[in-house]
Amino acid sequence: MYWTKYFIPTLKENPAGAEAVSHQLSLRAGLVNMLTAGVYSYLPLGLRVLNRIESVIRQEMNEAGAHEVFLPCLHPIEIWEKTGRVESMKDVMIRFEDQRGRRLCLGPTHEEIITHLAQQYIHSYRQLPVNLYQIQTKFRDELRPRFGIVRAAEFIMKDAYSFDRDEKGLKKSYDLMYQAYQRIFKRCGLDIVIVEADSGAMGGSISHEFMVESPIGEDAIAACPACGYRGALPTDFSEGGSACPKCNGPLVKKSALEIGHVFQLGTKYSNSLNAVFLDEDGKQKPMIMGCYGIGVSRLIAAVIECLHDEKGIVWPVEIAPFQVEVLALQVTDVAVMDLAEKLYNGLRNCGLDALLDDRDESAGRKFNDAELIGIPYAIVVGKRGAAEGIVELKDRRTNSTEKFPVNEAVDICLKKLGRGV
């Protein structure tokens, strides 16, 4: 992709009102645009990141045996009334009547809808277990949208739902999702903390939250400065007075951002919506359910919160919008542009996603923008290098620079990206 033919509206300054680092950088790097408070458009770079995160999630969900569906955003209120959650979620539920007088809401979550679906198709123990997931837009009437896409009124979520015949089956399904979540967040470059949590309005007996340390987080974890331990905040926590379970040093309280939550729901929804099956003895029993959510759009902000420096974003390779950027420093010089295009085409021919900065801008502007948008590697092509057959390779994560002969540059990139040659 040529920069001049792509839409990357970068900004030099932080936009007014953007408090969180992730909000500032997502706006400055041209990832998103705010339509109104809590409602965002995803621009080309942001959409590429979103698609890559979704690809990681799909790979791990499919590997864990889940099957993708796509459920409606419009929900009949009657289904929500059967579970009693019209009241418990009334503060965030966006409700209205259509022209035919039907009472509807924009789905804030999908437990009722997936259970209604299972009730229609699953009738025998032979059909279980089943795990269905989707990546879908959710809508919540947030009174105070905050920190850009971290807490928005319209957001993208991956939600999965398991249906089992007994508690043993639920435990197996839960463990599969738990492990898949660990792999997903690792592939996104995040160092997560997993803590037991309150199930809240979702219901169920057991749940775990997946969190990352962040100053904008609304949750809290305990951390030990001495040994690096991080975990759930003790119920009797006192700053400096609570001891680390690993080294006995004093624990401190840290803010944390929730990016995933898994629940063992049991029969809360299957009982309310008559989602039952016949067991081996021909007896009717409610399906045992689990629920597993990841804030997909929030994950973009979480990665930026955890992986940035004073210059901009530092994307992990697997979810970066592009893997390599070629910077042509003097685009009016024929030799520079010929070499830059040769390298760009060589990268693409090897299956890499590459961006060629072919703008007629100063070298300083190009370097600043490259560091801002955070592509993992940059090949720098200048007049002197073109004449000598040498290019520079910049590593965004380490901020280190190496020089290589032109004919080795593509192979070096492949090696650094783990592609081999």
Classify each residue of 233-264 as buried b or exposed e, where b means 16 or more C-beta atoms within 10 Å of its C-beta: beeeeeeeebebeeeeeebeebebbbbbbbbb
Query: What pLDDT does 17 receive?
Result: 87
Distance, in Å, from the CA atom of 31 to the CA atom of 52, rounded to the nearest integer, reads: 14
Q: What is the pLDDT of residues 389-405, one digit of tens each?
A: 999 999 999 999 999 99
pTM to 2 decimal places: 0.95
Distance, in Å, from the CA atom of 102 to the CA atom of 203, rounded to the nearest integer, reads: 28
Query: What pLDDT does 236 receive?
Result: 87
Q: What is the pLDDT of residues 278-317, one digit of tens each?
A: 999 999 999 999 999 999 999 999 999 999 999 999 999 9
Chain Cα centroid distance, residue 102: 35
Q: Which of 153-162, 178-187, 196-205, 295-304 has the lowest mean pLDDT?
A: 196-205
pLDDT higher than 70, residue 82: yes
**H-helix or E-strand containing 289?**
strand 288-295
pLDDT higher than 90, residue 415: yes
Mean pLDDT to the nearest integer, 201-223 = 87
Mean pLDDT to the nearest integer, 206-227 = 93
pLDDT higher than 90, residue 262: yes
**Topology (CATH level 3) of domain 3-218+252-309:** BirA Bifunctional Protein; domain 2 (3.30.930)
pLDDT higher than 70, residue 206: yes
Distance, in Å, from the CA atom of 90 to the CA atom of 258, rounded to the nearest integer, reads: 22
The whole-chain average pLDDT of the chain stands at: 95
Burial status of residue 364 (CB atoms within 10 A of its CB: 0-12, 13-18, 19 or more):
exposed
Query: What pLDDT does 199 receive?
Result: 60
Local confidence band at 420 (pLDDT 50, 70, 90 cut-offs): low
Distance, in Å, from the CA atom of 83 to the CA atom of 209, rounded to the nearest integer, reads: 24
Give the pairing type, strands 354-357 and 324-328.
Answer: parallel
pLDDT higher than 80, residue 240: no
Q: List the domain boundaries for the chain.
A: 3-218+252-309, 322-416
Distance, in Å, from the CA atom of 272 to the CA atom of 115, rounded to the nearest integer, reads: 9
Distance, in Å, from the CA atom of 258 to the CA atom of 64, rounded to the nearest integer, reads: 22
Mean pLDDT to the nearest integer, 108-114 = 97
Query: What residues form DSSP beta bridges with 15?
Result: none
Task: Decide: 49 and 300 in contact? Cβ < 8 Å.
Answer: yes
| 395-403 contacts, C-beta under 8 A, 24 or more apart | 396/314, 396/315, 396/370, 396/371, 397/314, 399/309
Query: What pLDDT does 412 receive?
Result: 95
* Cβ-proximal residues to 145 (8 Å cutoff; 6+ apart), any chain: 37, 38, 151, 152, 153
**Topology (CATH level 3) of domain 322-416:** Rossmann fold (3.40.50)
Side-chain-side CA neighbours of residue 141 (13 Å) = 10
Task: Decide: 237 and 222 in contact? Cβ < 8 Å.
Answer: yes
